[in-house]
Amino acid sequence: MIAPASIVPATILLGSTLQAPVAGFAPLWFRNELIGAVSPAWLPRLDSRLFKLQDDDGSDLPVVRIRGGDRRSESGLVPAATLNRWFAEWAQSLKAQGLLPGWRGESVQLYGANEAAPLLEVERALLRPLGLMLRTVQVNVFSFQDKRLGVWVAQRAASKAVDPDKLDSLVGGGIQGGDTPLETLVRECQEEAGIPRNLARRAVPVGVIDSSAGAFDAGQPVFHRERAMLYDLKVPLDFIPKPMDGETAAVQCLPVQALQDSLASGRWTNEGAWASRDLLRRYASVSAAASSPAAAAAPRTAPAILAPPGKGPAAS
């Protein structure tokens, strides 16, 4: 049975430990912290330098521990730099064998309950198979016309490894390495919507959510975990997004009713839908007060953008 989706307000910014093991997945421990949930299909692929498996009398699945992170390990306490190198080598080996779908070539830092320094740094494509936390930014991009709210929505490209073709917030992306959320926001605004730095930096933080759900990568069960830093960004009425990274199939600006209908369709990513509903809770009353049947506007749709300008169609 696939793990159900869950989205709740986050109570911590960096720490990524789990409160309890996830049913149907092997618990992954580092030192004395439960940091992940390993897909059963991935147990045979684990690198023996990094992981050791222990029987769990109460489960058909083993307990997985990162070697060296456990002070009781026979291999001693392995330095974080060595563990990071082993993770990178393992990821490259899996990629070469065609066993790592969604390869990004991006490193992601993982934190424990003590947020002073990261525990580990791993390739982003390993997060879902190991049930590790991805930190992201999610940006609601919108404008007002006579107090009527219009929200820019993106359709993800069919080539995306995660949630292809689904609707999403216009701007969103993973926080790489030691980048800050603001640095990530500015970069993703430019790449995904052509929003200049001076405008992107006007984004206002509005909350943090933790999202988790069972999913499938290349037909194998995985556990998706994401902590999204939510932002609002009001743009000028004449703004038209210009996606640059080939990860967006189309964009459109939706008024409140059209956005609500779209959210009810179930075609959205979990995180994008939550962020958009949160925006509506805060702004829809202002928009509704200014709207009337005669003034209702049809959705403003921008042309589909399949590739960076001047570079032809995006590869599928």
Residue 242 has pLDDT above 80, yes or no: yes
The tens digit of pLDDT for each residue in 109-160 reads 999 888 888 999 999 999 999 999 999 999 999 999 888 999 999 999 998 8
Q: What is the pLDDT of residue 153?
A: 96
Q: What percent of the chain has pLDDT over 70?
A: 86
Residue 172 has pLDDT above 60, yes or no: yes
**CA 296 to chain CA mean position, Å:** 34
- Spatial distance between the Cα atoms of 309 and 28, rounded to a whole number of angstroms: 44
Residue 11 — left, alpha, or beta (φ > 0 → left; ψ -120 to 50 → alpha)? alpha
CATH, range 136-294? 3.90.79.10
pLDDT band of 161, cuts 50, 70, 90: confident
Residue 311 has pLDDT above 50, yes or no: no
Q: What is the pLDDT of residue 134?
A: 95
CATH, range 17-131? 3.30.750.160
Q: What is the pLDDT of residue 197?
A: 96
- Spatial distance between the Cα atoms of 218 and 30, rounded to a whole number of angstroms: 27
Q: Where are the domain boundaries for CATH 3.90.79.10 in the chain?
A: 136-294
Predicted TM-score of the model (pTM):
0.84
pLDDT band of 312, cuts 50, 70, 90: very low
Q: What is the pLDDT of residue 286?
A: 57
Rg of the chain on CA atoms, in Å:
21
Residue 304 has pLDDT above 60, yes or no: no
Residue 30 has pLDDT above 70, yes or no: yes
Q: Where are the domain boundaries for CATH 3.30.750.160 in the chain?
A: 17-131
- Spatial distance between the Cα atoms of 55 and 38, rounded to a whole number of angstroms: 14
The tens digit of pLDDT for each residue in 209-235 reads 999 999 999 889 999 999 999 999 999
Please answer whether residues 90 and 53 qualify as being in contact, where contact means their C-beta atoms are separated by less than 8 angstroms.
no
The tens digit of pLDDT for each residue in 38-74 reads 999 999 999 999 999 999 877 899 999 998 754 454 4
Give the residue, 181 or 101, on which the prediction is more confident: 181
Q: What does the mean pLDDT of the chain come to?
A: 86
Strand, helix or coil at 48? coil
